[in-house]
Amino acid sequence: MNRLIGYPIKIRKNFYLLMIMMLSSMFVIGYITPKLNKVYLFQMILLLAFTLIGVLLSYFRSRMLLVYILSLWALMPGIRRISDWMVGEFQSVSLLSVGPLLVTSTILFSLMHKKMVFNKEHKRILYCFLCSFIYALILGVLFNKAAAIYEMANYVVPALVMIYSLTLTKTELQKRDFWVSSLSNIAVIISVYGWIQYFYLPPWDKLWMENVQMNSIGLAEPMSFRIFSTLNSPGPFALFLSIAVIPMILERRWRGAFGWFGVFIVLSALAISLVRSSWIFSIVGIIVYILFSTSTIKKIKYISLVTMVVIVLLNVITMIPGGNDISERFSTLGNLEEDNSFNARLQFTMEMAKNILKNPIGHGFGASGVSTKVGNNGSLGENGTFDNGILNIFFTFGWVGGILFFYGLFLIFKILKQKLSNPKNHHKYYQLGTAIIVALLVSLLGFNSIPGVGGLLIWFMLSLSFVNEANEINSK
């Protein structure tokens, strides 16, 4: 049997090597299992099961691999909460937290029997990111110890999707519509759960809110908080929806199984999350996508679609629970002088800019964000909350590393723009990639969406156009 799950097994010795690695892992697990308490044992069993599925899907290059990875990033925080609730104990540190990273890293198994071909442009881009990552890792290990490894993984592992895209064959490139549609379906599912959470608040979510002290999002009571669905907080949830909804609105083939119904479910959940930065991400992405359309007729078509969506959404907002909060939150966008949140961010930006100017070397991985919880009893450290994404990158990578990082993004944008300038080579994935990069740069003025789930979605969207050009031309 030459074909399993998706694609042919070309090098059998790699398969045997994979089996040896899995058996070795089983022996190691069998040795350490008796030393674990029941909570960690339960978490390890779940973690191994999820990872094993990822390994198999990856090695056989199943079209479901990316769908599985996207699903786990969306659902794993919720699975973790259910796990804590089932064992009757909240865990400030859980093995399941690294589940999405482990499963995404299984992409490496898909490269075992694939020849990667990089052209000069691809190499320049990869070198920019690689050099900045290595530099930040060295600083991080020196200054921040174990926290550096965790943040490094949150930056690097999601970016593996870009490497994976360069190995896609002509046949595999035809699956891209399926992958984007699957992302849309996932967005609808977590949006529906978000509304259920808002009205009912399941006990596992209540346990989470009470123990992590999420006072900023409201009370742990139904209809008294900002929804976060299966993710950790409203921020990542809204970011997930804001990225997924861009292709959903603009192209019929990317709307998934739920069509326009799914679009409005996602938009309503995005609205009730009350995360303005994510609203801006979607708005900018949609505008840029329209601007890079090939003809005036298409631009008119897209503008008509967006206008229809806005009209319907504005009418729906007035009828849904929490509509007044949404309207008040949206109105603050036009009156930033009196917005306490905006003023606090502005003050933080000015103070942090001075800090970065005085320290051109940078602080390395592990100095900011969620990674500061490592070695700090599960609590955020001094720079755990960082309200400016651009400064966060220079804070982490230093002046040189930060410039390399942004130059890598610029090179991707430059390649996409060049391809879009030639009508013969125009492709909607180039259009989408350009929209995502511009939206990302604008959103970085408010928060750093690159580590973790935001990074995975951004790299995923960019990877759809970051492919071997010869295969791309033949796959149209």
Q: Which residues contact 445 (CB under 8 A, 6 or more apart)?
A: 388, 389, 390
pLDDT for 187? 98
The first and second tokens of residue 235, run together, are 């921020």
Residue 180 lies in a domain: yes
What pTM was estimated for this model as a whole?
A: 0.90
Same domain, 106 and 145: no
Same domain, 25 and 160: no
Where b means 16+ CB within 10 Å and e means fewer, 430-447 reads: bbbbbbbbbbbbbbbebb
Same domain, 378 and 462: yes
Is 56:5 a contact under the CB 8 Å cutoff?
yes
Looking at residue 126, its amino acid is: L
3-state secondary structure of 323: helix
The first and second tokens of residue 357, run together, are 């100017």
What is the signed CA dihedral for 60, 64, 66, 68, rounded to 10 degrees?
-110
Residue 119 lies in a domain: no
Same domain, 356 and 450: yes
Residue 121 lies in a domain: no
Is 379:352 a contact under the CB 8 Å cutoff?
no
Same domain, 80 and 148: no
Q: What are phi and psi of 173, to 5 degrees?
A: -65, -25
Same domain, 59 and 138: no
Residue 439 lies in a domain: yes
**DSSP per residue, 270-302:** HHHTT-HHHHHHHHHHHHHHHHT-SSHHHHHHH
Same domain, 43 and 90: yes
Same domain, 286 and 188: yes
Q: Which residues contact 108 (CB under 8 A, 6 or more apart)?
A: 58, 160
Run of H or E including 3: strand 3-4
Residue ending a domain, among 114, 147, 174, is: 114
pLDDT for 19? 60
Same domain, 63 and 196: no
Residue 198 lies in a domain: yes
- Burial (CB < 10 A; 0-12, 13-18, 19+), residue 204, is middle
Q: What are phi and psi of 225, to 5 degrees?
A: -150, 170
pLDDT for 1? 40
Domain that holds residue 171: 128-475
pLDDT for 371? 83
What's the number of domains the chain is made of? 2
Residue 353 lies in a domain: yes
Calpha distance 276→266 (Å, rounded): 15
From first to last of its 476 residues, the chain has per-residue pLDDT tens of: 444 444 444 555 555 565 666 556 555 555 555 555 677 778 888 898 999 999 999 988 999 999 999 999 999 999 999 999 988 888 877 889 999 999 999 999 888 777 777 888 989 999 999 999 999 999 999 998 888 999 999 999 999 999 999 888 888 889 999 999 999 999 999 999 999 999 999 999 999 998 887 777 888 899 889 999 999 999 999 999 999 999 999 999 999 999 999 999 999 999 998 888 898 999 999 999 999 888 888 889 999 999 999 888 888 887 777 767 777 766 666 666 666 677 777 888 888 898 899 999 999 999 888 887 777 666 777 777 788 889 999 999 999 999 999 999 999 999 998 888 876 665 789 999 999 999 999 999 888 999 999 999 999 999 998 877 666 655 45
- Burial (CB < 10 A; 0-12, 13-18, 19+), residue 423, is exposed
3-state secondary structure of 198: helix
| Cβ atoms < 10 Å from Cβ of 304 | 10
* Sign of the CA dihedral running 368, 370, 374, 379: positive
Same domain, 232 and 109: no
Residue ending a domain, among 114, 149, 184, is: 114
**DSSP per residue, 26-47:** HHHHHHHGGGS-HHHHHHHHHH
Residue 252 lies in a domain: yes
Same domain, 68 and 137: no
Rg (CA), the chain: 22
Q: How far is CA 85 from CA 88, 97, 121, 211, 241, in A?
A: 5, 15, 49, 12, 26
Residue 120 lies in a domain: no
Looking at residue 475, its amino acid is: S
3-state secondary structure of 112: coil
pLDDT for 439? 96
pLDDT for 4? 44
3-state secondary structure of 450: coil
Same domain, 299 and 216: yes
Nearest residue to 475 via CA among 248, 11, 165, 243: 165
Is 356:395 a contact under the CB 8 Å cutoff?
yes
